[in-house]
Amino acid sequence: MEDFFLGGTADVSYTYNYYKELNNRDKTNQVTIYLPLSIGYGRIEQVQDARQAAYIYDALQKQGKIDAVKSAEELLEFARFISTIKNERFFDFRNKRIYELEELDRYLKENGYIDEQDISYFATLSDLWSYGNTPIRNTGFRAEAFINPDYDLNETLYRGEFDDLYNMRAYVLKTDLKATYEKPINLYWHHYMNVDVYWGTEKSRIRFSNSYLGKYIYPGVYLDLNHGVGYYPNTRTSINAFYGLSMVKHFDKTDLDENTMGIKGQNLTANLGFDLNYYISPQVRLSADLNVYYTVNNAKNEYGEVDYIASDQPYFNYQYPGYQKSRFNYALSASLQYFLF
């Protein structure tokens, strides 16, 4: 039973906005209540400490500081020790770093990793302790079932040449099944997969000046699937390639006799992407990424464009009119970042 879990959050927000221009005044009150609950099985664990232990061992071995050959189990025990000292709490960062390096040195000596110590040994140990634990590496399987209720109220009072009152209430309910799998293949390769399937519906009604204007019902089914592979040749470089597929299907609930509007259509989007990150120094980093999307949209012109929005977002899932049968998009970017601190 230890792998089962329950989850829940409460997101309640209130926004007040007042706007005045000449003789016109607007007052807006907005309330959002979002209360997702979940039950699930499995765990995703961080394992970059094992990668860091292997890097320290390999670097010291290449320098000739380690003669003994260590087994995989001994390296895992070293990784557990690394995790233990990282979890020690210190108020002063410099004191924490001194403690960690002293404990590492003691462990390596007591467990037969090193016979001699010199400046190159300490420099290598300090460098890999500071920069050998990125990027984050995960392993494990996790599956969750969600129920995500959401209530939204937006009310605006217009005062000016013509007074008016706008009132919108929306009720959103989503049920969701989500699974995540991550697996390090070896020290340099990693892959992951995510699957997300959910059904959701939004019911909303809008009034102007206390007269009934209309109501809207948007039920739909959603699928999102993505898979990625990461390559980490050293402590400075990470390269990721990924692809994904998302599908949206809305069911039309339009009823003109009841003054109810719906949305009809389906959308299929495929994407492919790459990203590269290179760590030059603690202050300077280089990154580049390419994303390619191809979308096929099948919706009537009078409807908004159907699109995919993740299940853990509190709002619902349609775009304003801008109908396109299909489209091809790509984005290429590169950046050089400098961090002051």
Predicted pLDDT of residue 172: 86
Tell me the residue ranges of DSSP E strands in 133-210: 138-159, 164-184, 189-208
Q: How far apart are CA 27 and CA 19, in angstroms?
A: 7
User: Which single residue is written with the structure tokens 């409807």?
Assistant: 303
SS3 235: coil
The one-character DSSP state at 210 is: T
To 5 degrees, how large is the angle CA 144–CA 37–CA 305? 80
Q: How far apart are CA 315 and CA 309, in angstroms?
A: 8
Q: How far apart are CA 162 and CA 319, in angstroms?
A: 30
* Residue range 21-34, pLDDT digits in tens: 878 888 899 999 98
To 5 degrees, how large is the angle CA 317–CA 323–CA 326? 95
What interhelical angle do 72-86 and 48-62 show, nearest 10?
A: 120
Q: Is there a contact between 304 and 321 (Cβ–Cβ < 8 Å)?
A: yes
Nearest Cα to Cα of residue 158 among 19, 259, 34, 47: 19
Predicted pLDDT of residue 142: 95
SS3 129: helix
Q: How far apart are CA 54 and CA 187, in angstroms?
A: 8
Q: How far from chain centre, in Å, is Cα 91?
A: 30
Q: Is there a contact between 243 and 227 (Cβ–Cβ < 8 Å)?
A: yes
Predicted pLDDT of residue 304: 52
Q: How far apart are CA 335 and CA 289, in angstroms?
A: 9
Show the low-confidence residues of the chain (pLDDT under 50): 301, 308, 317-322
Predicted pLDDT of residue 305: 53
Percent of the chain residues past pLDDT 70, beyond the cut: 91
What six digits make up the tokens of 132? 């050998």
Predicted pLDDT of residue 322: 47
Q: How far apart are CA 210 and CA 165, in angstroms?
A: 7
Q: Is the four-CA dihedral 309, 313, 316, 322 of positive or negative sign?
A: negative
Predicted pLDDT of residue 291: 94
Helices first, then strands: H and E counts in the chain: 4, 13
Average pLDDT, the chain: 85
CB neighbours of residue 318 within 10 Å: 22
Q: Is there a contact between 264 and 300 (Cβ–Cβ < 8 Å)?
A: yes
What interhelical angle do 93-110 and 72-86 show, nearest 10?
A: 160
Q: How far apart are CA 259 and CA 256, in angstroms?
A: 5
Q: How far apart are CA 302 and CA 288, in angstroms?
A: 39
